[in-house]
Chains A and B, each alone.
Chain A
């Protein structure tokens, strides 16, 4: 079964702190995606990770991929309020159909 699991589901962080969201997937995948969704909005693409050891960074967000462990992480550095959103990871499992995790709702507390 193709599954993508994220944890935690909910995360409250203080501003300035660091934290990591984890994304495990069930079988071989050649692409791992991270999306951001603000309340009532569509999904915004953050990162596409293509190979083992891939690391991408944008501002305070950094994503990495370990294909051997079937694990991707989204690391948040020195969180700010603007990062409050729901974050999804998704895998394509070798085709164009995306399987999504259930999402991590991130709240940054001043």
Chain B
């Protein structure tokens, strides 16, 4: 089972460039989310989706777009990269409502903006 797959694992961008971080899950989970991890700040929620066609903002959404056209995929788009977006990005998926639900995380994408 693949679980949650993120690509790429590493990326270097120049300021102003755009790119899409890919996230796919094969567990038929309704809920998917994107987090960024910065030193000393834990993980912060960027955007999330409760199902295909439904997305919403998290704690730090500025500079990022998402869409959810299928249950499996939840790409994160950086519109115009800035050095402040240098971070490690994690995608997660979970199923809603189950008493023992937990979030499964991808392996992360380490992004450097120069």
A: residues with CB less than 8 A from B are 4, 9, 31, 33, 41-43, 45, 48, 50, 88, 90, 96-103
Contacts and interface: CB of A to CB of B under 8 A. Distances in A.
18 contacts: A9-B40, A31-B101, A33-B102, A41-B107, A41-B108, A43-B90, A43-B105, A45-B104, A50-B100, A88-B43, A96-B31, A96-B96, A96-B101, A97-B48, A98-B92, A100-B44, A102-B41, A102-B42
The secondary-structure label for the interface of chain A is: loop
Given A43-B90, A50-B99, 13 more contacts: A9-B40, A41-B108, A45-B102, A45-B104, A48-B101, A50-B100, A88-B43, A96-B31, A96-B96, A97-B48, A97-B58, A98-B103, A100-B43
Interface string B56-96: 00100000000000000000000000000000001010101
Interface residues of B, number: 26
Nearest to B45: A97
Contacts of A42: 90, 105-108
Contacts of A102: 40-42
B33 interface: yes
B111 interface: no
Interface string B7-51: 000000000000000000000000101010000111111001010
Given A42-B90, A43-B90, A99 B105 contact: no
